Chain A
Amino acid sequence: MSPALILALSACGASLGAVFTAALRGTARRTLLCLLLAVTGVLCVAAGFAGLLHGGGAMVLPLGLPWLPMHLRLDATGSFFVLLIGALLLPVAIYSQGYLKDVQRLAPLAVFLPLFVLGMLGVVLADDAFTFMLLWEVMSLASYFLVTFEHQHAENRKAGFFYLLMAHLAGLLILGSFAVLYAACGSFEFSAMRQASISPFWAAVAFLLAALGFGTKAGVVPLHGWLPDAHPVAPSNVSALMSGIMLKVAVFGFIRVVWDLMGPGDFQWWWGALVLTAGSSSAVAGVLLALQQNDVKRLLAYSSIENIGIILIGLGLGMLLARYGHPTLAALSLIAALYHSINHALFKGLLFMGAGAVLHSTGSRDMESMGGLIHRMPWTAVFFLAACLSISGLPPFNGFVSEWLIFQSALMAPQLGGALLTAMVPFSAAMLALAGALAAACFVKVFGIVFLGHARSDAAANAHETDGWMKLGMAIPAVLCLALGLLPVLFIPLMDAVPLALLDVSLTGAVHAHGWLWLTPVDVSHASYSAPAVLAGMLCLGGIAFVFLHPRGYNIRRSVLWSCGNPHTHARMQYSSTSFSQPLRQIFSGIYQADEIVHIERHGHKLLAAKVQHVLHVHDLVVQKLYQPLANSVLSLARRLDRQHQTGIHTYLAYTFATILFLLAVFI
């Protein structure tokens, strides 16, 4: 057994051990729970590094069904995702030590949080379909109980039910995909599935089932309906794990089944096109809906949909390029998608932790009641700003690197198949550019409304900074975001084992060709980017400007702000979250179809308004137009069936009589 696998198994053991902290009481329970989760995180990071650098291993656990023991295997793809899990789990565990201080009923969290982590780790380690599905369900069910943690609110129960329903629908579809693969090889083990040859028709069926199943779990538009309901209502540390890691586990599942078990040899031309379309539409729709939210955690959940879309654009490009025989470029797209996965895990985890800190301190998730928190919570503001810069794809942070890599692979893509396919590639790059620019608008809004300006409520005016644990928990991903943005050349060779395993291509040579300073995806004449040089240049120029402009004796005079001569300003005169996104609401009104009612009460004359009332509802059209009719028809069908059940005894006798007649007619 290899050291990497031992480390991964001890991580599983640590998380399983954390379940038993539920038996403890008081501070000891919280401390031990967070400590064990942090240990799990450290072990995951170690296992991921060991697996990527020295290769993983496989083993068979004497558990599970009598004829099917559990197969575990840590390969390159698995190692990368174990590393991703650990990289966010460790800071979240540290953060939880502070965040859970005031939580009263800790027992459900102490049971289900470690189980949730165990499920995610197990999915990544699984090497047969049975283990995969078993741990997949552990992950889904445990997260259901975490979503309904505050079940005293009816809306949380509703969100939890919706989530449970969709998670099981997804589970069913994934099971169907495994069933098709099982039929092709006659074994549940992944090693047999890899070897099996499968006819193009059944490969397409397996692909569609897997894509729909994992797509539902990852929140791809239009299968995303559950996500913006479920992610915000969980405690913030859990939201960070759900958005940061659980969505990536769905991405991992997709890579496992489609890229690994079936393999690039089986790709058909429309697979990549479908993934690319789904990715582009998720990216744009996700960020457009995020822009209209006033609930900060709901906004972050929609933004996760956008980022999953970006990851899928990378994967779809890779699938198209692999299908048309460009493995090096396919490897570049795959690396870009994986890089964005770990980036999103870090900055979305950080954003949810920041939102949690704000929620903890002001007691509200509504952005309209915040403002000016940068004065009350300076450290949280700094970390949150780092995450906002990262997610907006701005240099020198990490979001820019992965988006840049996706742009590069899209631009270097040569002619593919037909003209339609070839034109799809730059169009998806255009959608990525649009999504990235809209994300910047979205996060200017979040940071500007929550942290800048004047406080819009007493709670925001009296907010307090978080404790040391929470600050430390947020500092780690903030530093990692900057590190991943500055030194991609050191991280990409580490991830290189994944395309080496899946596509038999290595990018290390091209990336390393010009030293650690220069990121050159294929060739220096194509494109190069050096974040350290850009940052150094900016620091130099900024330093020179600062030194020149600050001779001694030049003080800054503080004064009241200029408000057109009227000295009485009020916090409600500021731009609010709703007003910030108003121009976009108007520009994309065809997509939003928002319900907007303005009601003006007048004093006699039509110019004298006494009271103005503005009601605005921005709905998720997919939920309204697709899910609601579906749910309604299922309900009405159930009601009709119900009516058949609630009739008198003679109807039941008639049923029995008809059944006997039918059976007699059939059998005699």
Chain B
Amino acid sequence: MSSSFVQVLQAVLLVLLAPLAAGFVATCKARLQNRRGAGIWQPWRNLRKLFAKQVVMASHASWIFRTAPYVVFTATLTAASVVPALLVDTPLSMTADVIALVALLALARFFMALAGMDIGTAFGGMGASREMTFGALAEPAMLMSIFVLSLSAHSTNLTTMINHTLNSPFALHPSLAFAFVAMLMIAVAENGRIPVDNPDTHLELTMIHEAMILEYSGRHLALMEWAAMVKLLLFATLITDLFIPWGMTLTADPAGVVLALALWLFKLAGLLFILAVIETGLAKLRLFEVPEYLSGAFVIAFLGLLSFYMLEVGV
């Protein structure tokens, strides 16, 4: 197997598995709440239904509204194809480093917020305003937590960072612990999950993500939803890459790839199950407690940076 083949394989897997991951979280939540749930294929069924439906669009919506789903979808997919999932040294990891990856997600957010404002309802504007506000707080926290790892690996390239973790002897670094906690908090916030946002409802005054895409229908809505699912899987993969990369294959031989795939799925299932537990166990925060949550994540990530400089430099 060539590394390009594995690159394509993992990108396709990431995109196709994304609805299943969302379904997995929903099913886990249902079981934890003593319900049967709709099964893990339900997001795929929803997408298929939406792709077949006609698009209904507000009469004065501009081209921004029509192009935004494509921009959001492709920016998220491009970001997803950069993240190594099975093979450490993928051909595409050179095209964009972690900073560019965060910026690609910011590009998706930018267009989603614009689309929310384009239709000119109070809902859209409200969602856009809140998304950009919380995004502005979450993005630096995410970068800070990644920088902790970049500093010890002397690189922002994901492949080099993973190689660094794989090659250094296993030890519990306090800075990594801080970065990990911060990254988990940010991942929950960025994906609009409880306790920051509720992905299951359209009719809550505190909603963020759903408010922006309220006016979408048909294939446009499907693209937006799919992009959100890919983003969830992207964050889960990013966390496994940065903090628990063991098991990823260094060479593109079939046995290694199959083992890496099995371990990747196992790690993803573990992370998504933790997410389901968190979503079941916690209540949603009041809207103006979210900034405190996010600045908490920022402070934790910054503490990670400081502890890196104080305890680990030169070690």
Contacts and interface: CB of A to CB of B under 8 A. Distances in A.
Interface of A: 371-372, 374-375, 385, 389, 392-395, 400, 404, 407-408, 411-412, 415, 419, 422-423, 426-427, 429-430, 433-434, 436-438, 440-441, 444-445, 447-449, 452-454, 518, 524-530, 533-534, 537-539, 541-542, 545-546, 549, 554-563, 569, 571, 573-575, 579-584, 586-587
A528 B95 CA distance: 6
B103 interface: yes
A-B interface, 9 closest residue pairs, ranked by CB to CB distance from nearest:
A575-B125, A453-B120, A448-B117, A433-B140, A441-B132, A561-B58, A437-B136, A437-B139, A542-B74
Nearest to A394: B107
B246 interface: no
B144 A430 contact: yes
Contacts of B136: 434, 437-438, 440-441, 584
Interface stretch (B193-201, B235-243, B257-265, B301-309): B301-309
Contacts of B160: 525-526
Interface string B121-162: 110111011101101110110011001001100111100100
B219 interface: yes
B125 to A, nearest CB: 2
B133 A444 contact: no
B100 A529 contact: yes
Chain B at the A interface: SS class:
helix
B125 A394 contact: no
Interface string B195-230: 000000000000000000011000100010000000
Contacts of A525: 155, 157, 160
Interface stretch (B25-33, B37-45, B75-83): B75-83
B70 interface: yes
Given A372-B120, A454-B60, A537-B81, A444 B106 contact: no
Contacts of B219: 549, 554
A538 B117 contact: no
B302 A430 contact: yes
A426 to B, nearest CB: 5
A533 B97 CA distance: 13
Contacts of A429: 143, 147
A385 B137 CA distance: 23
Contacts of A449: 117
Interface centre among B120, B129, B298, B309 (most CB of A within 10 A): B120
10 contacts: A394-B103, A411-B147, A441-B135, A448-B114, A453-B119, A454-B120, A525-B160, A556-B54, A574-B122, A579-B125
Interface in B154-173: 154-157, 160
A389 B64 CA distance: 13
Nearest to B117: A448
B125 A453 contact: yes
A541 B140 contact: no
Contact of B155 (A527, A558, A586): A527
A530 B95 contact: yes
B186 interface: no
B255 to A, nearest CB: 27
Given A423-B306, A430-B143, 18 more contacts: A395-B100, A407-B99, A407-B156, A427-B302, A433-B140, A440-B135, A444-B113, A448-B128, A452-B118, A534-B95, A554-B219, A558-B58, A559-B59, A561-B59, A579-B125, A583-B129, A583-B130, A583-B291
A655 to B, nearest CB: 62
Contacts of A539: 74
Contacts of B156: 407-408, 411, 526-527
B62 interface: yes
Contacts of B150: 411
B71 to A, nearest CB: 7
Given A372-B120, A404-B100, A575 B129 contact: yes
Given A530-B96, A542-B74, A582 B129 contact: yes
A395 B214 CA distance: 27
B273 interface: no
A528 B133 contact: no
B108 to A, nearest CB: 10
Contact of B114 (A436, A447, A530, A574): A447
B104 interface: yes
Contacts of B126: 575
Contact of B309 (A389, A419, A448): A419
A574 B60 CA distance: 14
A433 B144 contact: yes
B289 to A, nearest CB: 11
A392 B103 CA distance: 10
For A427, A541, A563, the residue with the greatest tally of chain B CB atoms inside 10 Å of its CB is: A541
B313 interface: yes
A411 B291 contact: no
B151 A528 contact: no
Contacts of A371: 120
Contacts of B147: 411, 426, 429
A393 B107 CA distance: 9
A556 B215 CA distance: 13
B100 A557 contact: no
Q: Indicate the member of A372, A393, A549, A571 with the most B CB atoms within 10 Å.
A: A549
A453 B305 CA distance: 42
Contacts of B180: none
A391 to B, nearest CB: 11
Nearest to A564: B123
B1 interface: no
A584 B137 CA distance: 10
A440 to B, nearest CB: 6
Nearest to B164: A525
A375 B63 CA distance: 9
A102 B249 CA distance: 68
B209 to A, nearest CB: 15
B110 A580 contact: no
Contacts of A580: 125, 128-129
A90 B110 CA distance: 30
A525 B309 CA distance: 22
B17 interface: no
B315 interface: no
B120 A534 contact: no
Contacts of B94: 518, 524, 528, 530
A574 B120 contact: yes
A437 B106 contact: yes
A444 B110 contact: yes
A371 B121 CA distance: 12
Given A434-B140, A448-B128, A525-B155, A441 B133 contact: yes
Nearest to B62: A374
A530 B56 CA distance: 38
B130 to A, nearest CB: 6
B184 interface: no
B57 interface: yes
B53 to A, nearest CB: 10
Given A375-B62, A575-B125, A394 B309 contact: no
Contacts of A557: 54-57
B311 to A, nearest CB: 11
